[in-house]
């Protein structure tokens, strides 16, 4: 009898041990909160301990990377099969990762996805929709609104513009020379990429793709898109807009010293101005509305689950990070929440980013397509031809439309356009560019460079690696 009891006890102990081992999970979470930031401190000292207390048996190993480093590490780890369970991803990365088949389609895999996603802002959730499926949850968001110099508008008797027509009139009236004979520009726009131009194109009623984001042909050169760019180009020619040329006054300094009257910028500009020009009196308003409304551009990050993840544990963590508690805690660090309930909290209503909350409800994300970097590259090139070389707007956008037609047809035929290189290119010419060049503050003319031989390639790589340790190297589309 004792022997039978002992055997039974040992069996029970073995079963308990095996269950404990089965339940003990360590999630790998990669992110790009700066290691020394308030966001990282909140993650490590508040959020992860709270999650682990609510979910016994699940531990979280959070690893901080630099922004560009994280993108490249995911690409490298995908080849070696060493991806994390979950990652905080820039919204611009998702189409690329989805194309590699390394992400989990949450709407297909998670039974309660509809309930969970319904608690988050639809505009922010739209950034994770690719080919009709949801590959992430929105984690935090941002957008751009207008900053204007109060004193200079009052002195000129100019009301804060609410429409695009009023905006054009205000820029013309405010631009010129000040009492010291210095040039004054009504508007500063630091680059000519989609992040910069999409708000104008959309607000004029134009678009870069169809609503389903499957076709660019016929949209880039639509009458509304042409009108938006023609208006922008005319204002540049009249000396009302600058900022994208090499040698232009840096945005914050130009605004703080009265050389620029208006900016279209994100919540980070509030902190920059508070540090550099704390006594400056400025106001905020929404982007003036055109025929398409007032539509700014949506930025931010999503939290994605990789296909190799422990899906049950990863989903719990993703729900926690997008829940009211975590979102409110991160809001204290300056992160704009996507959780609808958190957005109604006093913490959010009294935050420095409060003026941006209206913009994110109508803002749009740049097209969530794997070819976006190519479209963005060609858009910048086209705008440079128009603004610097004086090319005709309609003809240039028609030519860009033709390129997108060829690109789309090549994709339909399964032709890789353009080819990307991991190392030294095998043929030339090639294009070298940093990932998301606007984040590095580069002027339009500095965001891309073409190398026609190996010597030029080496020189360009050395320059670009000052901003991005692993720039994109791809075949030039001709």
> Strand pairing partners for 430?
451, 475
Q: What is the reported pLDDT for 463?
A: 84
- Decide: 147 and 359 in contact? Cβ < 8 Å: no
Nearest to 378 by CA among 446, 427, 448, 443: 448
3-state secondary structure string across the chain: CHHHHHHHHHHHHHHHHHHHHHHCEEEEEEECCCCCCHHHHHHHHHHHHHHHHHCCCEEEEEEECCHHHHHHHHHHHHHHCCCCCEEEEECCCHHHHHHCCCECCHHHHCCCHHHHHCCECHHHHHHHEECCEECCEEEEEECCEEEEEHHHHHHHCCCCCCEHHHHHHHHHHHCEECCCCCEEEEEECCCCCHHHHHHHHHHCCCCCCCCCCCCCCCCCCCHHHHHHHHHHHHHHHCCCEECCCCCCCCHHHHHHCCCEEEEEECCHHHHHHHHHCCCCCEEEECCCEECCECCCEEEEEEEEEECCCCHHHHHHHHHHHCCHHHHHHHHCCCCECCEHHHHCCHHHHCCCCHHHHHHHHHCEECCCCCCHHHHHHHHHHHHHHHHCCCCCHHHHHHHHHHHHHHHHHHHHCCCCCCCECCCCCCCCCEEEECCCHHHHCCCHHHCCEEECCHHHHHHHHHHHCCCCCCCEEEECCC
> Would you write out the chain's pLDDT as a tens digit for each of its 478 residues?
554 554 454 445 444 444 443 568 999 999 999 888 889 999 999 999 999 999 999 999 999 999 889 999 999 999 999 999 999 999 989 998 998 999 999 999 999 999 999 999 999 999 999 989 999 999 999 999 999 999 999 999 999 999 999 999 999 999 999 999 999 999 999 999 999 999 999 999 999 988 888 778 889 999 999 999 999 999 999 999 999 999 999 999 999 999 999 999 999 999 899 999 999 999 999 999 999 999 999 999 999 999 999 999 999 999 999 999 999 999 999 899 999 999 999 999 999 999 999 999 899 999 888 778 778 888 999 999 999 999 999 999 988 887 766 566 555 555 555 566 766 787 888 888 776 554 555 665 566 788 888 888 888 888 888 777 777 787 775 5
Q: What gap in Å lies between CA 309 and CA 136, rounded to an integer? A: 13
Sorted by sequence, the CB contacts under 8 Å of residue 168 that are 6+ apart come out as 231, 235
Sorted by sequence, the CB contacts under 8 Å of residue 218 that are 6+ apart come out as 401
Q: What is the reported pLDDT for 416?
A: 53
Determine how β-strand 129-130 pairs with β-strand 133-134: antiparallel
Q: Give whole-number Cα distances, 473 to 98, 258, 339, 344, 410, in Å.
A: 20, 39, 37, 44, 20
Q: What is the reported pLDDT for 376?
A: 86
Q: What is the reported pLDDT for 21?
A: 37
Q: What gap in Å lies between CA 49 and CA 27, rounded to an integer? A: 13
Nearest to 412 by CA among 368, 371, 366: 371
- Decide: 369 and 95 in contact? Cβ < 8 Å: yes
- Decide: 173 and 363 in contact? Cβ < 8 Å: no
Taking residue 362's Cβ as centre, other Cβ atoms within 10 Å add up to: 17
Sorted by sequence, the CB contacts under 8 Å of residue 292 that are 6+ apart come out as 202, 203, 204, 205, 206, 224
Tokens of 377: 């590259």
Q: What is the reported pLDDT for 400?
A: 86
Determine how β-strand 58-64 pairs with β-strand 282-285: unpaired
* Residue 247 buriedness (CB in 10 A; 0-12 / 13-18 / 19+): exposed
Question: Does pTM top 0.85 for this prediction?
Answer: no
């Amino acid at each position: 009898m004792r022997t039978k009891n002992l055997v039974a006890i040992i069996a029970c102990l073995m079963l308990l041990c095996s269950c404990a081992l089965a339940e003990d999970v360590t999630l790998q979470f990669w992110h790009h909160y700066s290691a020394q930031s308030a966001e990282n401190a909140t993650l490590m000292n508040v959020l992860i301990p709270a999650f682990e207390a609510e979910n016994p048996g699940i531990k979280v190993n959070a690893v901080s990377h630099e922004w560009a480093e994280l993108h490249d590490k995911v690409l490298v780890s995908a080849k070696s099969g060493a991806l994390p369970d979950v990652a905080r991803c820039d919204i611009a990365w998702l189409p690329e990762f989805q194309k590699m088949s390394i992400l989990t389609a949450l709407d297909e895999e998670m039974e309660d996805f509809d309930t969970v996603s319904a608690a988050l802002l639809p505009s922010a959730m739209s950034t994770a929709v690719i080919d009709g499926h949801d590959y992430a949850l929105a984690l935090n968001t941002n957008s751009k609104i207008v900053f204007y110099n109060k004193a200079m508008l009052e002195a000129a008797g100019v009301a804060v513009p609410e429409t695009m027509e009023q905006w054009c009139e205000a820029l013309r009236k405010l631009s010129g020379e000040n009492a010291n004979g210095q040039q004054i520009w009504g508007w500063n726009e630091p680059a000519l990429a989609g992040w910069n131009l999409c708000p104008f194109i959309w607000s004029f009623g134009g678009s870069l793709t169809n609503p389903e984001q499957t076709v660019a042909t016929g949209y880039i050169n639509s009458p509304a898109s042409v009108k938006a760019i023609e208006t922008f180009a005319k204002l540049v020619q009249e000396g009302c807009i600058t900022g994208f040329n090499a040698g232009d006054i840096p945005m914050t300094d130009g605004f703080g010293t009265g050389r620029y009257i208006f900016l279209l910028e994100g919540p980070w500009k509030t902190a920059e101005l508070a540090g550099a020009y704390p006594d400056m009196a400025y106001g905020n308003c929404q982007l003036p509305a055109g025929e398409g409304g007032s539509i700014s551009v949506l930025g931010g990050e999503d939290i994605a689950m990789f296909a190799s993840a422990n899906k049950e544990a990863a989903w719990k963590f993703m729900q926690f990070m997008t829940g009211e508690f975590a979102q409110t805690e991160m809001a204290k660090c300056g992160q704009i929440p996507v959780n609808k309930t958190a957005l109604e909290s006093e913490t959010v209503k009294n935050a420095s980013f409060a003026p941006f909350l209206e913009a994110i409800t109508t803002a749009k994300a740049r097209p969530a397509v794997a070819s976006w970097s190519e479209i963005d590259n060609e858009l910048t090139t086209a705008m440079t031809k128009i603004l610097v070389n004086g090319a005709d707007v309609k003809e240039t956008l028609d030519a860009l439309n033709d390129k997108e037609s060829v690109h789309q047809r090549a994709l339909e035929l399964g032709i890789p356009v353009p080819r990307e290189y991991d190392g030294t290119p095998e043929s030339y010419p090639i294009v070298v560019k940093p990932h998301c060049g606007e984040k590095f503050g580069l002027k339009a003319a500095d965001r891309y460079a073409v190398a026609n031989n190996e010597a030029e390639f080496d020189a360009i790589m050395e320059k670009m690696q000052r901003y991005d340790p692993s720039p994109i190297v791809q075949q030039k589309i001709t």
